[in-house]
Amino acid sequence: MTSVNLNIANLLFQVRGGEESKLIPDILGFAPFLAPETDEKPHGQMIFGGEWTEDVEHECTLFEFVFSDADIRCRFSRTASDYRFYMQPEDKVEQTLRLVYKLDSSTIVCATKNGQPCLNDTMLRYGLWFGFVLVCAENNRTLIHSSTIVHHQEAVLFLGESGTGKSTHTRLWLKHIEDSHLLNDDCPVLACEDGQMMVYGSPWSGKTACFHNKRFPLKGVVRLSQASENKIRRLPVIESFMALQPSCPPALAYDDILSGRMIDLISQTIRLTPVYHLACLPDESAAQLSCNTLFQ
C-alpha cells in the first residue's frame, strides 16, 4: 500500500492507500510538509480506497453546507459509533467521497460511492483538510480561518468573515512594517503546547501560495471589521470568545464532544493571549495601529 507521511503542526499525518495517496505530493501546498518514512505511530492517518457501505442505522445529520469554491455539497453526520463527512460534487452523486471517523481512533477511512479513486484536486485538498481538522481535535489543536503575520518571530492571527479584508490588512503589514512576513493566508493551525499558544503554517492557504512548515508563538489575535476610521480595543472574555469561535471549523460546533474540545482550546487561547477588535480602513495607519498595540 502506498503511504505518504506529512508533518503538519508537529503531528505525523499519514495518508495511505488508493490512488489518492500517490497524488498528495503534487497537490499545491503539500510539498513543504512531506516527511520521511518512520516507524513512529502517526498522530493521525487517512486511509483511501475503503469500502462504501450503506448499512448504517440512526445516522443523524449535524451540519450541511455547500463548499462554494468548487460546488461541492458537504454533510457532516454522526451515527451510534462514528462520524461521517460526505463531499458530493454537484450533480455527481456517484463521485461522492466519504470520510468515516471513530472518535479518538486517529483514523479516517475514505471511500467513494462508485469505488473509483477521487482524482478531483479540490475535493482531495478539502478532504485532507477535514481529516486533519479531526486529527487536530484529538491533539489540542485547531485549524483556524486566519491571515497570519509573523513579526519579530511572533505570530498574529487576523480573523474575520470572508471579504472583511484580512489579507488586505496583512498585505499592509508586509508593505509598511519592517521584519514582518506572512505565515499563512487562510488556515494556519493554532496549538496549545506546554501551556503556550503556538501557530503553525499549513498546506491550506487559500488563494495565496504561502505554505510554510514553521512554528511561532502566538502574540495576539485581532478580529477585523471595516470602518470609516481606525480604532482598536482589547476584548473582554465573552467578546474574545465570540471573536474566535466563528473562525474555528464550523462543522465541529454542531457536535457536543467536538465543540467541547474546541471551546477548551479557545478558553486556553483567551487565558494566555490578548484578543482585540480592530475597526479599520485599508490603509497604512491601520497596520501601524495594530502593530503598535500588539507589540508596544
Residues lying near other proteins in the complex (CB under 8 A): 63-66, 237-238, 241-242, 245-246, 250, 253-254, 256, 259-260, 263, 266-267, 270-271
Burial class of residue 195 (count of CB atoms within 10 Å of its CB; 0-12, 13-18, 19+): exposed
Q: Which is nearer to other proteins, 31 or 66 (CB)?
A: 66
Task: Please say which residue, 262 or 287, places its beta carbon nearer to other proteins.
Answer: 262
Q: Give min distance, CB of 154 to other proteins, in A.
A: 22
Nearer to other proteins, 5 or 247 (CB): 247
What minimum distance in Å lies between the beta carbon of 50 and other proteins?
27
Q: Are 185 and 171 in contact (CB under 8 A)?
A: no
Please check whether residue 188 is in contact with residue 143, taking contact to mean a CB–CB distance below 8 angstroms. Answer: yes
Nearer to other proteins, 232 or 253 (CB): 253
* Distance of closest approach, residue 268 Cβ to other proteins, in angstroms: 9
Q: Based on CB atoms, which residue is closest to other proteins, 15 or 266?
A: 266
SS3 string, the chain, reads: CCEEEEEECCEEEEEECCCHHHHHHHCCCCHHHEECCCCCCCCEEEECCCCCCCCCCCCEEEEEEEECCCCEEEEEEECCCCEEEEEEECCCHHHCEEEEECCCCCEEEEEECCCCCCCCHHHHHHHHHHHHHHHHHCCCEEECCCEEEEECCEEEEEECCCCCCHHHHHHHHHHHCCCEEEEECCCCEEEEECCEEEEECCCCCCCCCCCCCCEEEEEEEEEEEECCCCEEEECCHHHHHHHHHHHCCHHHHHCHHHHHHHHHHHHHHHHHCCEEEEEECCCHHHHHHHHHHHCC
- Least spacing, CB of residue 250 vs other proteins, in Å: 7
Distance CA 86, CA 140 (A): 25
Minimum gap (Å) between residue 255 Cβ and other proteins? 10
CB nearer to other proteins: give 115 or 246.
Answer: 246
Residue 64 CB, nearest approach to other proteins (Å): 8
Return the number of the residue (145 or 151) whose C-beta is nearest other proteins: 145
Q: What minimum distance in Å lies between the beta carbon of 245 and other proteins?
A: 7
